[in-house]
Structure 1
Amino acid sequence: MSIQSGKLWGVGIGPGDPELVTVKAARVIGEADVVAFHSAQHGRSISRGVASRYMREDQIEVHLVYPVTTGTTDHPGGYQGAIDEFYEQAAERLAEHLVSGRSVALLAEGDPLFYSSYMHMHKRLADRFDVEIVPGVTSVSAASAAMETPLVERDEVFTVLPGTLPVDELARRLRTTDAAAIMKLGRTFPTVVRALEQSGRLAEARYVERASTDRERVLAIGDVDQSEVPYFSIAIVPSPSNNNVAADPLPGEVVVVGLGPGADHWTTDEVRQEIAAATDLVGYVTYLDRVSTRPGQARHASDNKVESERAAFALDLAKRGKRVVVVSSGDPGVFAMAAAVVEVAAEPQWSDVRVRVVPGMTAANAVASRVGAPLGHDYAVISLSDRLKPWSVVAARLSAVAAADMAIAIYNPASKSRTWQVGAMRDLLLEHREADTPVVIGRAVGTADESVRVVTLEKLEPEDIDMRCLLIIGSSQTEAVESDAGTRVFTSRRYPDSQPSS
């Protein structure tokens, strides 16, 4: 980097109150040869107004006027083209002073690196000149102070969102965070209100206008005139522990959720929301260990062989007014807790308890994705465990599906006490399938211990399989193709001699 003699200062001047300008910012502004600031075409610069008491009369002032802020432009590149051209020209105006050896203080409302105009100058000048950033108090901090309300505490999550996001995306992010600040309001305010309504957080939110100035206002969102919302306003949603909104008591219910097969990013936002809202978490200890609990939540872990008892326990909690989440791995409706809960809930004593099921990714789909598309055509899902059904039923189903020439996803193939079924399954399937039929062995997919291999059916060895495995047995149309990227397995969606229906 070639450093010139002039130095660029990115100076945060805070949210509007001149007394919130830091001591360092005041010193830098007063010492700089050049003070630069932005404004819209009306020419009134808020940042210069805040900094004026710290400026000298003999300083050079550079007024950077945006060609467009809202509305339309006749620039051939449209709005973005006009703005990009303005930034390039503005950067060169500052560069002329820096090359001449002058120090330049570029003012930024709030903090220079937080939704600030300064950032666009920084990207264009920082690799050519000596640069230093003076941080400033953000509007988020000022708004929180104006509300006299904490935003977050302990391990709660705080999210900053631009109001320019689409309403559905805003609502999704609001549902999955503890607290939020929504900036860039102005003309986006109606969209923000709709997002708050969709996410169920409208009652929690507060509107803060021109925080820290003599025109500061704090209002409930519903009291705001949507036609008179300035850009320098912000919507704040404090965390549940700080929002002071008395929630309506909700009836007890049981929600059965699926965490997905292993990786945290396979747990959906909907599932995370249900877990966060629960008073009690119920499940097999290994699955509960994947869930972070918040203060006040009760955790009820149990062994994996007491599904009916676990379901009854969860229903009893809900009957007493608790919001209970029953946690499963994968999808709760695939060899998991949804069936147990719904079955037990059918008993008369639980008739007044609401039960919901929230889906998750199942292991078969996760394993299939690692090798391509082995489940691309019709397929069956069979559990090899004979703990809840006799082996004669398992064997009959394996034979029937094999005869029907469908790919098969095999769950629960083996355990420490159950080791012979994989060999028995292989022998049954070889009565209907070719010896070179592809078999995908996915183990602990989505975890740090993940492994995925492709073997042929005749070479499937029972001793290689344990309870953390899921098997995908191909059909006659399943192919394994070797490439530089590894083995890819697919089952074509086109079946031989198929004729379209008339």
Structure 2
Amino acid sequence: MTVRAVQVIAGADVIAYHSARHGRSIARSIAAEHLRADHIEEALIYPVTTESTDHPGGYRGALDEFYETAAARLAVHLDAGRTVAVISEGDPLFYGSYQHMHKRLAHRYPTEVIPGVTSVSAAAARLGKPLAEADEVLTILPGTLPEEELTARLASTDTAVVMKLGRTFPTVRRAMERSGRLPEAHYVERATMTGERTEKLADIDAETVPYFSVSVVPSRIADLPPGTATSTETATTTETDTATATATATAGEPSGHGEVVVVGTGPAGPLWLTPESRGALAAAEDLVGYTTYLDRVPLRPGQRRHASDNKVESERAELALDLARRGRKVAVVSGGDPGIFAMATAVLEVACQAPYRAIPVRVLPGVTAANAAAARAGAPLGHDYAVISLSDRLKPWEVIAERLHAAAGADLALALYNPGSRSRTWQVGKARELLLEHRAPDTPVILARDIGGPEESVRTVHLADLDPHQVDMRTLLIVGSSQTQAARRDDGTEVVWTPRRYPEG
């Protein structure tokens, strides 16, 4: 208890506290030594806790009626000029019962809220582990959330505390395991009180878990050796240099089994990153990737970065697998979705060769450029569509032309990746000529550039008016089918969509 809390209790006429129907109150037991015989006590006893109720308003209705009645009881004392101290374990406005009194009374009577020590702070203190350090993000979650929501939030955050265990413990444990956080998770029961217990969460029997317990996933930085900093290394383009870089990167390697996770960052920035991918990037010991994509990932103490040029995918994959073979947890960073014209293919191709076939490899989905661009424009990919790269660096133009003919002849909308660059300036013009053999000149074409980035632009032109000089490597093209519509709405915005229903016959 804070000094101020003790002072307020000493000066109060009435002491109010919440309790279940058994009448015992943790808040009262904490403050018991400071209560006087002449204190008027108001025990605000809940009509229901976790059991069912026959109240016509259901569980919420029963509690709302209780809070109204309890507030009215305290108002009688306040109207009589008495000072009322409502005592609450932890902090009154942090998942506390007092907040329901505050909403009903604070606007009517002079009110002071005395902050308290939360169970979160108490649990960290008892574990002797920092909750968060440097730029780490702490997420506090109620265990009553659905399992999928818990899993997503645990995967995406740096550190976490899950409150309100008890009957929710099996769900929380599964969410910890599914998010990969179970090995880091600790269990704290009745922190700073009689009957306190702290253990690894994985070792806890669900039948022994009371409501007043929390799970803590503490700071990862706190477990690093003193003075650890983030280092940056560059993977090179030859097999010999890659092996040298690998040996350097794995100096002081940890024990245990490594793995490779291929992560897509989306088209740009953290808003496009899935919770699962965010968690994998935070948990990695080594990040491997094209420099531009690595720059999207926040720096974290203890992580090693291995940046390389965009044209050494096989060498990059081999480096990642070599690191994992030596026990490192490696994230290969890719743009968009790693399985669409990106790093997942390169990693799996190398991973299926000796000596890498036993190394665990996971591919995490990401928001691909086609979907991001389509969403900005409306819904041009709302019906069947094809995704084709116009780059002839890895396949001959004759194959690209044949596929464009086939997709256009089947009346598919098209998402065209890698349409042009400094060294590839004619492909867009050739593709336009080919597509005009199958499409009307006024077919909508979306030019989506730098989606999610600072120079984002989305324009719609007719296929016949598509200017190759307005297209570069940061542009994605979406070409509509014969059914694709473009319309201008009352607010001045233009939307493009392809109906889901296709004409019969």
TM-score range (shorter-chain normalised) is 0.7 to 0.9
**From 490, 495, 499, the counterpart of 1:492:** 499
CA distance in structure 2 between the aligned counterparts of 1:26 and 1:434, rounded to whole angstroms: 81
The sequence identity of aligned pairs, in percent, is 63
Structure 1 position 89, deviation (Å): 1.6
Query: Hey, what does 1:76 align to over in structure 2?
Result: 56
Query: Hey, what does 1:373 align to over in structure 2?
Result: 379
User: Greater relative contact order (Cα 8 A, min sep 6): structure 1 or 2?
Assistant: 1
Structure 1 position 318, deviation (Å): 3.3
Query: Hey, what does 1:29 align to over in structure 2?
Result: 9
Query: What SS is found at the alignment partner of 2:113?
Result: strand
Give the unaligned 5+ runs of structure 1. Answer: 1-20
Deviation sequence 1:8-29 (CA, Å, 0-9, x none): xxxxxxxxxxxxx111111112
Instruction: Please report the TM-score for the alignment, with normalisation by the length of structure 1.
Output: 0.86
Structure 1 position 443, deviation (Å): 1.4
Query: What SS is found at the alignment partner of 1:130?
Result: coil
Structure 1 position 30, deviation (Å): 1.4
Deviation sequence 1:333-383 (CA, Å, 0-9, x none): 222122233334455454454443222121111111122221122222122
Partner amino acid, structure 1, of 2:344: A
Query: What SS is found at the alignment partner of 2:111?
Result: strand
Contact 1:278–1:297 (Cα < 8 Å) also in 2: yes
Higher mean alpha-carbon deviation, 33-42 vs 431-440, is at 33-42
Contact 1:237–1:243 (Cα < 8 Å) also in 2: no
Higher mean alpha-carbon deviation, 224-233 vs 382-391, is at 224-233
CA distance in structure 1 between the aligned counterparts of 2:365 and 2:71, rounded to whole angstroms: 52
Contact 1:41–1:66 (Cα < 8 Å) also in 2: yes
Query: What SS is found at the alignment partner of 2:87?
Result: strand
**From 137, 141, 153, the counterpart of 1:161:** 141
Structure 1 position 289, deviation (Å): 0.4
Partner amino acid, structure 2, of 1:296: G
Partner amino acid, structure 2, of 1:148: G
Query: Hey, what does 1:135 align to over in structure 2?
Result: 115
Structure 1 position 326, deviation (Å): 1.7
**From 156, 159, 176, the counterpart of 1:179:** 159
TM alignment of 1:311-326, pairs within 5 A: 311-326=317-332
Query: Hey, what does 2:293 align to over in structure 1?
Result: 287
Higher mean alpha-carbon deviation, 106-115 vs 427-436, is at 427-436
Higher mean alpha-carbon deviation, 66-75 vs 215-224, is at 215-224
Partner amino acid, structure 2, of 1:488: V
Contact 1:374–1:472 (Cα < 8 Å) also in 2: yes
**From 300, 311, 316, the counterpart of 2:306:** 300
Cα 1:211–1:324 change in 2 (3 A) is closer
CA distance in structure 2 between the aligned counterparts of 1:205 and 1:315, rounded to whole angstroms: 28
Higher mean alpha-carbon deviation, 457-466 vs 201-210, is at 201-210
Partner amino acid, structure 1, of 2:19: S
Query: Hey, what does 2:272 align to over in structure 1?
Result: 266
Query: Hey, what does 1:111 align to over in structure 2?
Result: 91
TM alignment of 1:350-389, pairs within 5 A: 350-389=356-395
Cα 1:287–1:95 change in 2 (3 A) is same
| Structure 2 residue 422 is matched with structure 1 residue 423 | no
Contact 1:158–1:177 (Cα < 8 Å) also in 2: yes
Query: Hey, what does 2:250 align to over in structure 1?
Result: none
Contact 1:180–1:236 (Cα < 8 Å) also in 2: yes
Higher mean alpha-carbon deviation, 225-234 vs 448-457, is at 225-234
Cα 1:297–1:58 change in 2 (3 A) is same
Contact 1:204–1:243 (Cα < 8 Å) also in 2: no
Query: Hey, what does 1:233 align to over in structure 2?
Result: 213
Structure 1 position 156, deviation (Å): 3.1
Query: Hey, what does 1:433 align to over in structure 2?
Result: 439
**From 88, 91, 104, the counterpart of 2:71:** 91
Cα 1:450–1:126 change in 2 (3 A) is farther
Contact 1:39–1:64 (Cα < 8 Å) also in 2: yes
Give the unaligned 5+ runs of structure 2. Answer: 225-252
CA distance in structure 2 between the aligned counterparts of 1:87 and 1:474, rounded to whole angstroms: 58
Structure 1 position 183, deviation (Å): 2.1
TM alignment of 1:48-87, pairs within 5 A: 48-87=28-67
Partner amino acid, structure 2, of 1:234: V
Instruction: Please report the TM-score for the alignment, with normalisation by the length of structure 2.
Output: 0.85
CA distance in structure 2 between the aligned counterparts of 1:101 and 1:49, rounded to whole angstroms: 26
Contact 2:152–2:276 (Cα < 8 Å) also in 1: no
Higher mean alpha-carbon deviation, 206-215 vs 105-114, is at 206-215
CA distance in structure 2 between the aligned counterparts of 1:203 and 1:385, rounded to whole angstroms: 44
CA distance in structure 2 between the aligned counterparts of 1:438 and 1:408, rounded to whole angstroms: 11
Cα 1:405–1:168 change in 2 (3 A) is closer
Partner amino acid, structure 1, of 2:433: D
| Structure 2 residue 452 is matched with structure 1 residue 446 | yes
Partner amino acid, structure 2, of 1:260: G
CA distance in structure 1 between the aligned counterparts of 2:202 and 2:429, rounded to whole angstroms: 67
TM alignment of 1:461-500, pairs within 5 A: 461-485=467-491, 486-498=493-505
Deviation sequence 1:48-81 (CA, Å, 0-9, x none): 2322433444444332221112312221112111
Query: What SS is found at the alignment partner of 2:112?
Result: strand
Query: Hey, what does 2:23 align to over in structure 1?
Result: 43
Contact 1:163–1:185 (Cα < 8 Å) also in 2: yes
Partner amino acid, structure 2, of 1:494: R
Contact 1:260–1:363 (Cα < 8 Å) also in 2: yes
CA distance in structure 2 between the aligned counterparts of 1:109 and 1:472, rounded to whole angstroms: 58
Query: Hey, what does 1:122 align to over in structure 2?
Result: 102
Query: What SS is found at the alignment partner of 1:435?
Result: coil
Query: What SS is found at the alignment partner of 2:366?
Result: coil
Structure 1 position 267, deviation (Å): 1.5
Query: Hey, what does 1:12 align to over in structure 2?
Result: none
Count of paired positions? 476
Cα 1:227–1:494 change in 2 (3 A) is closer
Query: What SS is found at the alignment partner of 1:489?
Result: strand
CA distance in structure 1 between the aligned counterparts of 2:34 and 2:273, rounded to whole angstroms: 52
Query: What SS is found at the alignment partner of 2:496?
Result: strand
| Structure 2 residue 457 is matched with structure 1 residue 457 | no
Structure 1 position 476, deviation (Å): 1.0
CA distance in structure 1 between the aligned counterparts of 2:125 and 2:479, rounded to whole angstroms: 61
Query: Hey, what does 2:412 align to over in structure 1?
Result: 406
Deviation sequence 1:293-312 (CA, Å, 0-9, x none): 32221111122222233233
Superposition RMSD in Å: 2.7
